[in-house]
Amino acid sequence: MLSKAMQDAISQQINAEISSAYLYLSMSAYCAASNRPGSAHWMRVQWQEELSHAMKFFDYVSDRGGRAVLKAVAQPPTEFKSLLDVFQQVLDHERAVTGMINHLYEAAVKENDYPTQILLQWFITEQVEEEKNASEIIEQLKMIGDQGAAVIMLDRHLAMRGAGK
């Protein structure tokens, strides 16, 4: 059985994952309005991933005999300075999520909650990938700038996310 403290902490993480999804959907809207359809697509895929993460935690709480308690989700930002700013905020956000996952893992270790530790190992690995992906896009944007043909090519590349490429 899941402890009350761990159940509450995971419920908080569910909220964070849903908030992340909401942020990425807002970023998708910005990218679409800025004529960056590939980036908008990339953000929508990210939105779907974050919702699946929330559901993974939600189902886990239920599987362990607990009950997730859902809270309000804050409005995400809607305006960004540039595509580089968008992806820098993605990286900053993912680093914050990594910190939350690490904190959850520390709590699970403290409680000797081995099943939760195993669940969180998957998320720890996922966060390494999330930060790497955002960092690579940021570095590419820094090399090419925010205008011109290279940005269009990068945007087209981002459109392929989830297409098996």
Q: Could you read off the pLDDT of 50-76 as tens digits, one per residue?
A: 999 999 999 999 999 999 999 999 999
Q: Does residue 163 register a pLDDT over 80?
A: no
Q: What would the mean pLDDT of 145-153 be, rounded to a whole number?
A: 84
Q: At 148, is the pLDDT very low, low, confident or very high (cuts 50, 70, 90)?
A: confident
Q: Which of 92, 75, 96, 70 is nearest to 10 (CA)?
A: 70
Q: Mention the CATH class of domain 4-158.
A: mainly alpha
What integer pLDDT is reported at residue 90 of this predicted model? 98
Distance CA 118, CA 105 (A): 9
Structure tokens that stand for 76 in this block: 């995400």
Share of the chain above pLDDT 90, in %: 89
Report the 10 Å Cβ neighbour count for 76.
Answer: 18
Instruction: Give the model confidence (pLDDT) of 16-33 as tens digits.
Output: 999 999 999 999 999 999
- What residue has token string 């720890």? 124
Q: Does residue 158 register a pLDDT over 60?
A: yes
Instruction: Give the model confidence (pLDDT) of 93-131 as tens digits.
Output: 999 999 999 999 999 999 999 999 999 999 999 999 999
Q: Does residue 164 register a pLDDT over 70?
A: no
Structure tokens that stand for 85 in this block: 């700013």
What integer pLDDT is reported at residue 126 of this predicted model? 97
Q: Label residue 68 left, alpha or beta by phi (over 0 means left) and psi (-120 to 50 means alpha).
A: beta
Q: Does residue 165 register a pLDDT over 70?
A: no
Distance CA 65, CA 115 (A): 13
What integer pLDDT is reported at residue 149 of this predicted model? 87
